Amino acid sequence: MSFTPPPSTPRPDGAVRISASSRPYVVVQPIAVGAAAPVVRAPAKIAFRDGAVSQVNMPVVGRVTQVHVKTGDKVKVGDPLVTLSSPEAAAARAQSAAASAEHEAATKELARQDTMAKSGVGVDSERVSANAKLRQSEAELARAQTTAALLGGGGGPVVVLRAPIEGTVITRRATVGAVAQPGGDPLIEIGNPTALWVIAEVFERDIGQVHEGAEVEVELSTQTQPVKGKVMSIGSALTGSLRTAPVFIQLEEADGIRSGMFARAAIKAPAGQSMVLPAEAVLVKDGKTYVVYVKTGDDLFAPRAVQVGPSVDGKVQILSGLNPGDQVVVKGALLIDNAAEQLL
């Protein structure tokens, strides 16, 4: 509805008297100092916590011969996931066995040289050579055993990939006959469904209101009631064109919640003794001066310059310019301001 205030006479203090027909559109509220706890609202998503997801891949080139799990299966540590055949695995195990045999021979040779030296019939150069060969065989054995250890259980060309953590199979890319190689997509991904957190993307203007330990209510489409949580940590860098920082939230309950779900987080800012007004009560003049209208008499309203703090969830914190008990216009301030401009 459009409304044109009737002509009026300007006053020295800038006050405006509105007509009786305008009065129903103006709502006045006494401002008070109270424990204001604004709420920061932000879009969020459910994700696995750090260390709660394990990606299983092939350390050498091989061909899948059997897949033991499917997406959604629950597994325990050590359960077989995928069996593969790999000539490289067979070569690595053979090299490990050869390195072990060479190390054993080098150990015996050095022991023989030590015995001969004690008997006075040894040659120093041969003992030094035997000692160097032993050190070389130790290094080669360690390298070969490390490579073989990556292959897990099995013998010859057979490689059995096993679950490194307990959890649920969330992705299965392995198919029988497919060739797997290092650096490719993980064959199996396992996630711990109980190790979830919420990542809220908080805008730059609101991040100063968020603190570790703050209480949070998380709204999910699958839940009839918000899920409670607490802020665990706050990202130190802003990301994306929207200039947001990630806020990590720990949930009290994770039943029925899955990674990848979208959510909305309501993060409670610290309560403090302050004065708060609805955002529509505060007008901006010349892009830099903030003004509210205060009732000074019957249908008489005067502008008052104020300093404001952060705006959170439709509320603006008033830092100065008002006193407790002032009758402030919380609805209809723009209508009064338009009437004041017509008097200029």
CA distance 163 to 255: 24
Q: Does the fold of domain 40-51+193-268 match that of domain 16-38+272-342?
A: no
Residue spans of alpha helices (H) in the chain: 87-119, 124-150, 333-342
Cα angle 171, 174, 175; round to 5: 130
Residue 290 and residue 283 in contact, taking contact as beta carbons nearer than 8 Å: yes
Instruction: Note the pLDDT of residue 283.
Output: 92
CA distance 248 to 199: 5
- pTM to 2 decimal places: 0.55
Instruction: Note the pLDDT of residue 152.
Output: 66
The CATH topology of domain 40-51+193-268 is Elongation Factor Tu (Ef-tu); domain 3 (2.40.30)
Residue 309 and residue 317 in contact, taking contact as beta carbons nearer than 8 Å: yes
Bridge-based pairing of strands 80-85 and 34-36 is: unpaired
Instruction: Note the pLDDT of residue 315.
Output: 79
- Written as tens digits, the pLDDT of the chain (344 aa) is 555 555 444 565 678 888 888 888 899 989 877 655 668 889 999 998 888 889 888 888 889 999 999 998 999 998 999 998 988 877 777 777 788 888 888 888 888 888 887 887 778 788 788 888 888 888 887 876 776 666 666 678 888 888 988 989 999 999 999 998 888 889 999 998 888 899 999 988 788 878 899 999 999 988 888 999 999 999 988 887 788 999 999 998 877 888 889 999 999 876 666 788 888 899 998 878 899 999 998 888 999 999 887 666 677 888 889 988 899 999 998 888 887 665 54
Class of domain 53-86+153-191: mainly beta
CB atoms within 10 A of CB 213: 8
87-150 CATH, one of 1.10.287, 2.30.30, 3.90.1280, 1.10.3470: 1.10.287
CA distance 314 to 321: 20
Q: What are the residue boundaries of the structural domains of the chain, listed by start?
A: 16-38+272-342, 40-51+193-268, 53-86+153-191, 87-150
Instruction: Note the pLDDT of residue 7.
Output: 45
At 247, give phi and psi (nearest 5°). -120, 125
The DSSP secondary-structure symbol of 222 reads T
Question: What's the CATH code, domain 16-38+272-342?
Answer: 2.40.420.20
